[in-house]
Structure 1
Amino acid sequence: MEKRVDIQKPLEQLEGFEWPAPPDDATGLAKAAQSLYKRPIGSLNAHELSRLIGQDIGLPWLLPIAVKILRETVDDQHLTGFYDDDLLTAVLTRKSNVWRSHPHLVADLKEIIPLLKAISPYIQADIQGFLTEAET
């Protein structure tokens, strides 16, 4: 059973690590990630989640939120023809050690994937990679 997490807390509190300010010449991604690390996780939108997850930041707290968003929006694809491919890709492309630690999320994703329609070949490749990683 997944333990409840206070989504009003930022990753900084949840992980117990204060991320120092990036240097002036840091990349935009590094600056954005540091800023997002200090925001309550419940306030992060799909794009912000995909940025952090894609960098393997805060996965124990952010992956369940991301999978919940993917589950809640999967039906929207049928209505609008749009699905958040960035968030889906960020989630699907995590390594097998992540999925070994979160088997309940693997099960959730395996329920979501068949509901997706007209997926690009790139996302299909990510799905196949996820299924392979989840099995190893």
Structure 2
Amino acid sequence: MDHLLHLDSTLDDLDPPRWTPPAADATHLVRKVHGLRSVPLGRLGPADLHTLVSQQVALPYVLPLVVRLLLEEPLLDAYYYEGDLLLAAVEVPASAWDLLPDLADRLRTVITTLPETAVADLPRGAAEELARFAARPGSPR
């Protein structure tokens, strides 16, 4: 299945049920995530994807977009710092990656090819998170 076929659809379309509008006193983050669910997938930017991945929203639809970006630029600065999108992706529960084994394998390949100097420049603990993800068993061959 090609997870990128739905770029004109929104998460509200693809990941039912549609969310109700946030409460009037909702936090900025809650309002933002609710709003992102109504944006066509093809229009979500790196910062939007970072937010959705960090909040674990509709991961089967969001992770393919994230991996597509990371294949091109593994240490993309999506929102906070260089490599933040990669770190958000590897911190996703393994159960989400189990649904996307080929994408997980591709991301593991990206991680294992990162130069040590680049990994050393990431925040404290990042190297361990990347190594943990890379060490997960891959999809069956």
So what's the TM-score if we normalise by structure 1? 0.83
Using a 3 Å threshold, how does the CA distance of structure 1 residues 111 and 58 change in structure 2: closer, same or farther? Answer: same
Q: Which residue of structure 2 lines up, in the alignment, with residue 105 of structure 1? A: 103
Q: Which residue of structure 2 lines up, in the alignment, with residue 6 of structure 1? A: 6
Which amino acid in structure 1 is aligned with residue 73 of structure 2?
T
So what's the TM-score if we normalise by structure 2? 0.80
Could you say which structure has the greater relative contact order, defined with CA pairs below 8 angstroms and 6 or more residues apart?
1
Aligned mates of 1:42, 1:67 — CA distance in 2: 14
Q: Which residue of structure 2 lines up, in the alignment, with residue 31 of structure 1? A: 31
Q: Which residue of structure 1 lines up, in the alignment, with residue 125 of structure 2? A: 122
Cα offset for 1:57? Answer: 0.5
Percentage identity across paired residues of the two chains: 28
Contact 1:93 1:126 in 2 (8 A): yes
Aligned mates of 2:7, 2:82 — CA distance in 1: 21
Aligned mates of 2:104, 2:3 — CA distance in 1: 17
SS of residue in 2 equivalent to 1:74: coil
Cα offset for 1:3? Answer: 4.9
Using a 3 Å threshold, how does the CA distance of structure 1 residues 46 and 84 change in structure 2: closer, same or farther? Answer: farther
Larger relative helix fraction? 1
Aligned residues: 130
Cα offset for 1:87? Answer: 1.1
Question: Structure 2 matches for 1:1-136, cutoff 5 A?
Answer: 1-74=1-74, 84-117=82-115, 118-119=118-119, 120=122, 121-132=124-135, 134-135=136-137
Contact 1:47 1:86 in 2 (8 A): no
What are the ranges of 5 or more consecutive residues in structure 1 without an aligned counterpart?
Answer: 78-82
Contact 2:75 2:84 in 1 (8 A): no
